[in-house]
A and B are shown apart, each in its own frame.
Chain A
């Protein structure tokens, strides 16, 4: 089945690669969640954090992190898809009756939940990182003005983004799917990497579910709190826009031909 006979290409080592990349992605997801939760502090907290991420190492850090994450995703994805393809080939004819005894739904749908996570990540980047999908996110560098041109008002962006009930529900749904992926993955990696021994498997069996619940609860708390109106926006979108307009100076009045004559023409005015 395998064309490469080197031990590095063996099923077990490739599964180990999925485990290592998965573990690193879990660390990223946990770190990202911790950063997200700063939204519950005064706006300066998350905005300062975002500024730090963008400025650290003269802006090099964030690109290094992004490159690393993309690499992790590509390896994780590429290897799992190759393994999955081989698994499909390993049983060309399935059973008419199949009665799994111990495996849960999450463990049997890792590719599905993984693909949903991938699509979500793409949407999420388009939404908040690039600001392409939502009109409320296109004004990220607002208000602080020319003195701090890189200042990103993440707080207002998130609050306004999640005021849309459709966007908020979509994020919540995707977090649940990510949670299902981690439910199995967060425990499975300890077996793949050969860390389980003796009583350890009973313990590591809890790591996935705990990570999943923490990630889902932590990340979903944000759209839920915003929908419930618990996090006030740092600045109000309407007045902010007005402020910008004001900063730009008064608009030249639109030349409306004969406008002054209209009023005069209406009787009683």
Chain B
């Protein structure tokens, strides 16, 4: 299988960047998208040219680092991370446009690599529970309703990949922040700081320069962990409630 790539190349944060065309031959359907890029990079290295920089770590869909926009879709044509996207979803001779996440809050560092540390700073603003839990408690001494624990676990699936920001027309981080606010806000341990948490994390999100939600659910459609936009409604309730009736 042969593919024509149109890849974004950018030497560094200050470089203007441009698209570069490459043809990759010998692609097999069972390769992952990253393996296809590895093939191209081997060729580039052999030619003494700089390889295409992209983030990757686990290559099994759990670290969330393999961010890239493929033909206008975050992580490519299937729902899942780029490392879990297989070349069988492409056709021989197809042209594939590969771009980095585009958001003011995610500056491009090099080629397809963006700086997602804005997410870390949002987490640091309130995405924790600051109680001293001591040793491991008895399994059932803190009852959690089944429904809540299920929902909290769904929210906790978020791997911070940033696909939601990338796919959103406004580069809004609402799905990520909603997942992080909700997975603690649904559990008893998260209750004492629930109000303070949402206010601090939303304030940080706004400050980092993400856009505002317009309820189009493009985030939900591309999220590799199927985080539901219902968590956004939940965060909206929490934020509006905590603003109108301050808890502390």
Query: Which residues in A have some Cβ–Cβ distance to B below 8 Å?
Result: 1-2, 5, 7-8, 10-16, 83, 86-87, 89-103, 107-108, 110, 184, 187-188, 190-198, 201
Contacts and interface: CB of A to CB of B under 8 A. Distances in A.
B72 A97 contact: yes
A99 B222 CA distance: 11
Nearest to B178: A12
A197 B234 contact: yes
Nearest to A187: B215
Given A7-B203, A10-B203, A101-B218, A191 B102 contact: no
A13 B216 contact: no
Contact of B216 (A7, A99, A103): A103
Contacts of A14: 212
Contact of A201 (B233, B238, B242): B233
Interface of B: 6, 19, 69, 71-73, 97, 99, 102-105, 167, 169-172, 199, 202-203, 205-218, 220-222, 229-230, 232-243
Contacts of A198: 230
A188 B172 CA distance: 16
Given A10-B206, A12-B202, A107-B214, A96 B99 contact: yes
B243 A91 contact: no
B169 A87 contact: yes
Given A5-B203, A86-B211, A97-B69, A91 B103 contact: yes
Contacts of B72: 95, 97-99
A90 B221 CA distance: 20
14 contacts: A1-B210, A11-B206, A86-B211, A96-B99, A100-B169, A101-B167, A107-B215, A110-B214, A191-B233, A194-B238, A194-B241, A196-B230, A201-B229, A201-B230
A108 B216 contact: yes
Given A11-B172, A12-B202, A90-B105, 9 more contacts: A7-B203, A7-B243, A10-B243, A11-B202, A11-B212, A13-B239, A15-B212, A87-B212, A96-B6
- For the complex of A and B, 4 pairs with smallest distance between CB atoms: A194-B237, A99-B72, A90-B211, A194-B236
A55 to B, nearest CB: 38
A110 B232 CA distance: 20
Contact of B199 (A7, A16, A92, A196): A7
Nearest to A89: B104
